[in-house]
Structure 1
Amino acid sequence: ESAVDEVSKWLEEMITAADGAAKGGTGGNSEKIGDAGDNNNGAVADENSVKEIAKGIKGIVAAAGKAFGKDGKDGDALKDVETVAAENEANKDAGKLFAGANGNAGAAVGDIAKAAAAVTAVSGEQILKAIVDAAGDADQAGKKAAEAKNPIAAAIGANAADNAAAFGKDEMKKSDKIAAAIVLRGVAKDGKFAVANANDDKKASVKSAV
């Protein structure tokens, strides 16, 4: 079971328990995390959905911190989680999964492998910390992969008429941020991943990768 699967289960439980996050969640949508669109196109995630989930998770982490004797403020419950090295940019091509509905090329097999590598490189706690940190970031407007600076902006995405592109900003090239964006797009309303010439086999490979 991957770290993203683990965190996705945690998030679904949190969404049920927290009013704020529940407003942003899938509402019982049966589609699994890792759903891919058709004809090379992804689908941007609902902006309010992504933001409400991230905000709700931040609040729950803060509450958990208090429960375990930590301050609980601004993600202090995760302050001891190991950070991912800044120079770890090997999986930035996973950004191609985040192309929008107007793109004309999605992620190829090698790019999907990069997403899988990012997911397996980090722990569930590291993914949660990346989400909590992004929830405190002022710049949360949806951006295409080449321009996104945090997992919230990347998960929301943009419907730019561009080919799929790698994550371009240093802030989004690290595996914890990539995995966090995958979780948020997968759990939020409407979000789908972009896969080049998507067929059932390739769609299945996305689901297995994340």
Structure 2
Amino acid sequence: KGTVKNAVDMTKAAAVAASAASAATGNAAIGDVVNGNDGAAKGGDAASVNGIAKGIKGIVDAAEKADAKEGKLNVAGAAGAEGNEAAGKLFVKKNAGDHGGEAGDAGRAAAAVAAVSGEQILKAIVDAAKDGGDKQGKKAEDAENPIDAAIGSTGADDNAAEAFATMKKDDQIAAAMVLRGMAKDGQFALKDAAHDNH
């Protein structure tokens, strides 16, 4: 009975994640990178980002219940390493002008993703979603978790291109990259010169 229930729970959680991610389908590429003068880069749609994160958490939770040993995420390694905070500049929601990250900032984002495993990224998403509440989004400098970072800044902060100040760990940065890349409207901003070489 427990096995069946866990399977049902996993299916429900997968449906939640799939539904949230499906909103991202359309003409825009996943993980779209926009040029600094081509209009505003969009943060991930809040409902989409939250839905994806909660769906992933549900899948992982159900898997862990199904098998207390094999279902646990293997997160050994340097997930807590820092040094790639400049990746936050790609998360700017610029309104005008040449805003966004430089080529080196894009390199930091790639380094953060390369430094961690898929399971470490999943755990960072699960940890961010564990309170069950919807996140509203924050600018990179103020973001404390991958969900807020993926949604991004709002209002007067739209033009701020800043490094992550609190959310510095590679697994968190990589998780934010994944969530924004999968979400509806999720885009990354690069300055013109950096975008031309993308």
TM range (shorter): 0.7 to 0.9
In structure 2, what is the Cα distance between the partners aligned to 1:103 and 1:134?
31
Q: Is the Cα contact below 8 Å between 1:118 and 1:178 reproduced in 2?
A: yes
| Alignment partner, residue 188 of structure 1 | 183
In structure 2, what is the Cα distance between the partners aligned to 1:107 and 1:128?
25
| Alignment partner, residue 142 of structure 2 | 147
In structure 1, what is the Cα distance between the partners aligned to 2:30 and 2:193?
16
Most deviating of 98-107 and 172-181: 98-107
Q: Which amino acid counterpart does residue 119 of structure 1 have in structure 2?
A: V
Q: Is the Cα contact below 8 Å between 2:34 and 2:195 reproduced in 1?
A: no
Q: Is the Cα contact below 8 Å between 1:140 and 1:150 reproduced in 2?
A: no
Deviation at 1:200, TM superposition (A): 5.9
Which one of the candidate residues 94, 101, 106 is aligned to 2:87? 94
From the superposition, tell whether residues 168 and 200 of structure 1 become closer, same or farther in structure 2 (CA, over 3 Å): closer
Identity across matched positions, percent: 53
Q: Is the Cα contact below 8 Å between 2:13 and 2:55 reproduced in 1?
A: no
Paired residues, number? 182
- RMSD between superposed Cα atoms in Å: 2.8
Matched, 1:110 2:109: no
Which one of the candidate residues 145, 166, 169 is aligned to 2:163? 166
From the superposition, tell whether residues 191 and 71 of structure 1 become closer, same or farther in structure 2 (CA, over 3 Å): same
Q: Is the Cα contact below 8 Å between 2:94 and 2:160 reproduced in 1?
A: no
- TM-score, with length taken from structure 2: 0.80
Which one of the candidate residues 134, 159, 163 is aligned to 2:128? 134
Q: Is the Cα contact below 8 Å between 1:37 and 1:198 reproduced in 2?
A: no
The list of structure 1 runs, each at least 4 consecutive aligned residues, that deviate by more than 4 angstroms after superposition, is 14-17
| Alignment partner, residue 122 of structure 1 | 116
Matched, 1:52 2:47: no
Q: Which amino acid counterpart does residue 44 of structure 1 have in structure 2?
A: G
Residue segments in structure 1 that go unaligned for 5+ positions in a row? 1-13, 206-210
| Larger-gyration structure (1/2) | 2
Q: Which amino acid counterpart does residue 165 of structure 2 have in structure 1?
A: G
Q: Is the Cα contact below 8 Å between 1:33 and 1:183 reproduced in 2?
A: no
From the superposition, tell whether residues 20 and 108 of structure 1 become closer, same or farther in structure 2 (CA, over 3 Å): same
Residue segments in structure 2 that go unaligned for 5+ positions in a row? 1-9
